[in-house]
Each structure stands twice: as structure tokens, then as C-alpha cells.
Amino acid sequence: MNIIVPIKQVTDLVEELEVDASGKDLNREWLKYKINEFDDHALEEALCLKEESGANVMAIALDSADIEKSLYTAAAKGADKLIKVTGDFGEAIPSHVAAKALANVLESLEYDLILTGVQAADDRDGQVAVLLAHYLGLPHVSVVTGVNLQDGKAIVHKEYSGGLMGEFEVDLPGVLGIQAARQTPRYAPVSRVRQAMRSTELEEMPAGDVSVAVGTTVQRMFKPETSDGAQMIEGSAEDVANQILNILSERGLKQ
Amino acid sequence: MSQDVFVIAEHLMGNLEDVTFELLGKGRELADNLDGSLVGVLLGGGVEDLNRQMGKADKVICIDHEQIAEFNPDSYSKCLMEVLKTHEPKVTLVPNTSMGMDLAAALSVDLDLPLVAYAVDASAKNGTIAVTSQLYGGKMNVESRLEGDRCIISVIAGSFSSEDGKSDNVPEVEEVSPPDSLTDLKIRFKRLIEPEAGDVDITQQDILVSVGRGIQSEDNLPVLQKLADALGGVLSASRPIVDNKWLPKTRQVGKSGLKVKPKLYLAVGISGAPEHIEGMKDAELIIAVNSDPNAPIFDYAHYGVVGDLFDVVGQLSEKLKG
């Protein structure tokens, strides 16, 4: 069983985000990046499957700032192979371009299952998992929270609203957009990441022709309006608590 | 190509989802501005009753067949591909839901049409389509303009009024047979799994203390449980807490969890990603406590507190006790 896990980095959303001078993109000068949390869950699920029934897990990512750190972290956690896809992508890579680049590289690789994050905070033109599946002509299920492998097929749980789930049987190879792994993604200490940098080979493969039309252009980026935002309660923790309790009393919400 | 606007209907357990009406309402506005028709597309088995509810549309194209009674990413994208290939609508609106996610991007690749995802607004002025997407966990909006003639837009549920999409009119219904390609499916629907009963029903509570990633550790849950008890409410949570198994799935508020409308929603350490907002923005009173002054939750809360959430939670519990 060969499992491929495409990962990417997104801006750390804890940071304050600013619009750049063009008015169309983030000011990226001071931005911190981290692995897309859903990709981290996809990697975790792949590693759980490996531990359960044996598999080769390969993490693959498009070249971008600091991506090697995320790849080596994947190796430190248990990924067997790393691939960096090289090409002239720029900083804000549209999902269609990313999916096409991954599809080009994957055509020369052998695999049974592709697990990647169901979405990312910046995929304006759609989710990579489904785009990739259709460039490769493979079946796909998104918003997956459970994966079991049986007789060369994947039995997956897909989340709907209201806590409902659909169960599907998917022929392999297939692509699953992972919402959450079966357990909290594991942590790799820095010492293990450093060790992985020395012991794991990072293969580079060119993206090939990624000239797909996104078909829309960004006109502007702006912070959502906050005019009818919250009335802020200020003061010491005690003052704040008193004010909240007054609000609750006024509304008859205090027992 | 036509100037028509198509809305892909979504239904679950025999009911049209609210988002379908939201899209019909918005779709009506777009179709009128484009001088096109509004067409609903409904896939399912035994769905005549649902057709009739889509009177806001001029017409409903329906594939009603037992083979597609249940949603399946493979069969549903194949059916929609045939419909969209035949009719070539200018705009296709798809819900950015669990089901819609498996359809919108699939259609974009297979029909070579641009896709704009996470839409919270869309307009058609002088024939130009502009779409506003909510990105970066709700911290930034991005306005995109369509370059070509046609596109697919996937819309975040809760972006528009569902009342605007309801009508007593009875739409014309065009029945279509399922395509031949359904004989060769790579995905099979097995069953629908309902949530485990037994836990409290958070949709029936007056007071929810809802916790998010900001509580940092499972070890901090008892402190918040104490506050919930003191307020006479129960704990609910955003997705990361449930993904980490700190609280059961039955407590999850948001897109893949439950929609709640309590009298008090006290959001502690919840940043307010769009998926979460979808599930709680109609609460009567929302008070948010978060250490990040830029957290999107403050755009939806009535009252906000920026600061150390444990200090505030501790003081609240203390005062409620005394």
C-alpha cells in the first residue's frame, strides 16, 4: 500500500493579517507559515493506516517558503519519502495550478491512496483534493473523518451537517479530503526533525506544464466590515465579569 | 451559452436544506440582472415533493431515480456534468457544504469552468460577475471578477436569507433520465449513520458555554464545565475540540455539527471561522472572550472581551457562586 499525502503551508491565522500595497494580496513580509491543519490530519491518518496494516507514506509539497521544514517534520513523524515539486509558482498558488502540478508529478508515481486536507484557509478557487482527483480521473470523497482499508477498497465516513455521516466504499486508487484523523495529529520534537533532515532524502521533481486557466482575477482584498461588531467590555478581569453578569441579569439569564 | 443561473439543490433525510433556498433567493436576483432564467437542479429518488418547493425557480430540472436516491460524489457529479453540458448556464451556484465540495471542484475540472469558492456574496452588474469569498478563517474577504463567460460559485451556507428563496409558485419540472455513465461507478453508498443519542441536545439549551482552541488543553475543560454549571448551561464546542476528542461530536456547533439558537452563547477561546459562525450566529445573545483582538468572532458577537480567558472565566464562576 502506497499512500501519498500532499501537504501545503498556509499563513498562521493567529497572526494579524494585513493587505499589501496592491490591495489584492496579503502583505507577506512578516507572515509566519505553518502546515495546513487539515493536511496535518491527513498525514496523521496516513501514519495510522501505516501502523495498522503497513504502508509506505510519501509526503509531497509544492516548493514555497519554508516548505522543507514541513516536509522534514512529516518525515520525523513517520513519512518514508519526501518530494518537493519545483516550478515557478509565485507565492499565492491557485488551487487549480497546485492540483495540476501535483497531478503531473503523480502520473509517474505508483500509489493506491491519496490523503490530503479537505480544505485550506486560502483556496479561493476550490479545494485541491477534488481538483486533483479529477485531473487524475480518480474517485474522491471530501470531509472524511474515518478511513478503513478492506480488500483493496477504502471504507470511508463523510460528515454531513447535524452530526450525520455517510458511509461509502471507494475503489482504489482514490483521493480522500480529510477533515479529521482518528486521533490528534502527533507532535515531532525539533531534535527528531533535525535528525530527519540528515537521514531522509528529499527528492525534487519538476511540476511540468501547469498552464491551467483559473478564469477569475482578484479585484481587491479587504477585511470584513466590523461596523456592527461587538461592543467591547474593558477593564480588569473582575470588572469584566461584573459587567457580563449585569448584562445577563438585565436579560433574565442569571439564575 | 445562455444567461441562465442554475442552482444545485441539496437535500438530506427527505428535506431540502436551508442553503438551497438561500441559493434560490440569490440566484433569482442574479438571473433577473442577467435577463436569464433561474433553474433549479434536483437529483434524488422519489423527490417530487421537493420539486414543488422550489417555486422561486422558473424551472426545475430533475433526475429522479432510485440509483441516485442517496448522495454519491461519483454519480452526482456525473449527472450534473450532463445537465450543465446540455444547458451551458452562465452561473452555477453550488452550496459550499460537504456535498457541494465534492461537486463544485469536480465540475470545474471536467467542464473546464472557473470556480470561486467560499462565496458570501455575488453580483451581476452589466453582465459582469463579481464574487466575494471569505478566506483566511474569516479574517479576509477577497473580491474576484470573472474573466470569461461562465463560472461555478460555491457559496457558504448562511450567507443569504432563506426566506428570499421561498415561493408558493409551482415551478415547471423537466424530468431527465440518468446518464449511461452511472453503470460504471467507483464509489458506492453504503449507509447513513445517525449521531449517537444519549448525550444532551445542545440545540435545546438556553445557555451554552462554547469552547474553542483557545482553551489550549483538555485539562482546562473542568474550569469551563464549572462555569457552565454555574450559569445553568452546558458545554458546546468548535470543531478542533471535537476533532481532539475532548468533547463528543454531539457538542459540536457549526457546519459539520449542529446549528444552535440559545438565549446565551458564551464563546470562550473561539476565533470564529466561517464554519463555526454558520452554526451559532442566530443566538439571541453572543458574548465572546478571546485573546486575539482581530478574531472574527467579534464581528458576530454582541459583546466582546479581549484578554486572558481563564482570568475572566475564573472571576465569572467565582461571582456566580457567591
What is the CATH classification number for the domain harbouring B260?
3.40.50.1220
pLDDT, tens digit, 9 for 90 and up, residues A129-184 = 999 999 999 999 999 998 999 999 999 999 998 788 999 999 999 999 999 999 98
DSSP assignment letter at A200? S
Clarify whether residues B34 and B162 are in a common domain: yes
SS (H, E, C) chain B: CCCCEEEECCEECCEECHHHHHHHHHHHHHHHHHCCCEEEEEEECCCHHHHHCCCCCCEEEEEECHHHCCCCHHHHHHHHHHHHHHHCCCEEEEECCHHHHHHHHHHHHHCCCCEEEEEEEEEEECCEEEEEEEEHHHCEEEEEEECCCCEEEEECCCCCCCHHHCCCCCCEEEECCCCHHHHCCCEEEEEEECCCCCCCCHHHCCEEEEECHHHCCHHHHHHHHHHHHHHCCEEEECHHHHHCCCCCHHHEECCCCECCCCCEEEEECCCCCHHHHHHHCCCCCEEEEECCCCCCHHHHCCEEEECCHHHHHHHHHHHHHC
**Is A222 inside any structural domain?**
no
CB contact (8 A) between residue B192 and residue A232: no
Is residue A227 predicted with pLDDT exceeding 60? no
**Is B197 inside any structural domain?**
no
**For the residues B313-322, what does the mean pLDDT come to?**
89
CA dihedral defined by B268, B269, B275, B277, rounded to 10 degrees?
40
Residue in chain A lying closest to B208 (CA): A253
Confidence of residue B102 (pLDDT cuts 50, 70, 90): very high
The pLDDT score that the predictor gives to residue B99 is 97
What average pLDDT does chain B have?
A: 94
What average pLDDT does chain A have?
A: 94
The pLDDT score that the predictor gives to residue A2 is 97
Q: CA-CA distance, A243 to A28, in Å (whole number)?
A: 39
The pLDDT score that the predictor gives to residue A92 is 83
**For the residues B20-24, what does the mean pLDDT come to?**
98
Radius of gyration of chain B (CA): 22
Clarify whether residues B213 and B168 are in a common domain: no
Confidence of residue A255 (pLDDT cuts 50, 70, 90): low
Residues of chain A found within 8 Å of residue B137, distances taken between Cβ atoms: 13, 121
DSSP assignment letter at A226? -
Residue in chain B lying closest to A131 (CA): B105
**For the residues A57-69, what does the mean pLDDT come to?**
94
| Nearest CB to B147 within list A174, A217, A233 | A217
Clarify whether residues B13 and B82 are in a common domain: yes
| Nearest CB to A123 within list B117, B131, B318 | B117
**For the residues B126-133, what does the mean pLDDT come to?**
94
In chain B, % of residues over pLDDT 90: 86
B137 contact A CB<8A = yes
Radius of gyration of chain A (CA): 21
For residue A178, what are the domain limits? 2-206
| Count of CA atoms in the C-beta half-sphere (13 A) of B40 | 33
Clarify whether residues B171 and B94 are in a common domain: yes
Q: CA-CA distance, B72 to B226, in Å (whole number)?
A: 43
Question: What does chain B come to in residues?
Answer: 322
The pLDDT score that the predictor gives to residue A226 is 60
Clarify whether residues B265 and B179 are in a common domain: no
For chain B, the domain total comes to 2
CB contact (8 A) between residue A122 and residue B136: yes
CATH of the domain at B9: 3.40.50.620
Q: How many separate helices (H) and strands (E) can be counted in chain A?
A: 6, 13
The pLDDT score that the predictor gives to residue B214 is 95
Q: CA-CA distance, A147 to A157, in Å (whole number)?
A: 7
- State the best of B108, B263, B266, B298 to mutate against chain A, taking most chain A CBs within 10 Å: B108
**Is A35 inside any structural domain?**
yes
The answer for B 101-130 residues in CB contact with A (under 8 A) is 101-102, 104-106, 108-110, 112-118, 130
Residues of chain B found within 8 Å of residue A251, distances taken between Cβ atoms: 263-264, 285
**For the residues B119-148, what does the mean pLDDT come to?**
94
Clarify whether residues B280 and B149 are in a common domain: no
**Is B251 inside any structural domain?**
yes
CB contact (8 A) between residue B114 and residue A238: no
Confidence of residue B256 (pLDDT cuts 50, 70, 90): confident
Alpha helices in A81-189 (DSSP H): 95-106, 128-136
Segment holding A73, helix H or strand E: helix A67-77
The answer for B 210-269 residues in CB contact with A (under 8 A) is 231-232, 239-240, 242-245, 249-250, 252, 255-259, 263-264
Q: CA-CA distance, A140 to A176, in Å (whole number)?
A: 6
Confidence of residue A91 (pLDDT cuts 50, 70, 90): confident
Residue B298 forms beta bridges with which residues? Answer: none
CB contact (8 A) between residue B318 and residue A141: no
Q: For strand B140-146 and strand A216-222, is the pairing parallel, antiparallel, or unpaired? A: antiparallel
**Is A220 inside any structural domain?**
no
**Is A221 inside any structural domain?**
no
**Is A179 inside any structural domain?**
yes
**Is A227 inside any structural domain?**
no
Question: Residue B35 burial (CB < 10 Å; 0-12/13-18/19+)?
Answer: exposed
Question: Residue A187 burial (CB < 10 Å; 0-12/13-18/19+)?
Answer: exposed
The C-alpha cell that represents B149 in the structure block? 463567460
The pLDDT score that the predictor gives to residue A228 is 67
**Is B195 inside any structural domain?**
no
Q: CA-CA distance, B67 to B196, in Å (whole number)?
A: 28
Confidence of residue A30 (pLDDT cuts 50, 70, 90): confident
Using an 8 Å Cβ cutoff, are B15 and B48 in contact? no
**Is B215 inside any structural domain?**
yes
Is residue B294 predicted with pLDDT exceeding 90? no
Clarify whether residues B227 and B154 are in a common domain: no
- What is the per-residue burial (b if ≥16 Cβ within 10 Å, else e) of A9-40? bbbebebebebeeeebbbeeeebebbbbbbbb
Residue B174 distance to chain A (closest CA, Å):
28
**For the residues A74-97, what does the mean pLDDT come to?**
93
CATH of the domain at A26: 3.40.50.620
Clarify whether residues B74 and B140 are in a common domain: yes
Q: CA-CA distance, B41 to B61, in Å (whole number)?
A: 5
The distance of Cα A209 from the centroid of its chain, to the nearest Å, equals: 23
3-state DSSP helix/strand/coil percent for chain A, to nearest 5? 30, 30, 40
**A59-63, A229-233, A241-245: which has the minimum mean pLDDT?**
A229-233
Question: Residue B130 burial (CB < 10 Å; 0-12/13-18/19+)?
Answer: middle
The phi-psi region of residue A175 (left if phi > 0; otherwise alpha if psi is between -120 and 50; otherwise beta) is beta
**Is B192 inside any structural domain?**
no
Phi, psi of A74 (to 5 degrees): -60, -40
**Is A249 inside any structural domain?**
no
B287 contact A CB<8A = yes
For chain A, the domain total comes to 1
For residue B152, what are the domain limits? 5-183
3-class secondary-structure state, position A191: helix
Clarify whether residues B126 and B60 are in a common domain: yes
The C-alpha cell that represents B205 in the structure block? 439549551
**Is B124 inside any structural domain?**
yes
pLDDT, tens digit, 9 for 90 and up, residues B159-214 = 999 999 999 999 999 999 999 989 889 999 999 998 777 778 899 999 999 999 99
Using an 8 Å Cβ cutoff, are B183 and B74 in contact? no
Q: CA-CA distance, B114 to B130, in Å (whole number)?
A: 13
Residue type, B232: G
Clarify whether residues B175 and B224 are in a common domain: no
The answer for A 6-25 residues in CB contact with B (under 8 A) is 11, 13-14, 16-17, 19
pLDDT, tens digit, 9 for 90 and up, residues B50-98 = 999 999 999 999 999 999 999 999 999 999 999 999 999 999 999 999 9
Q: Look up the ipTM and state it.
A: 0.92
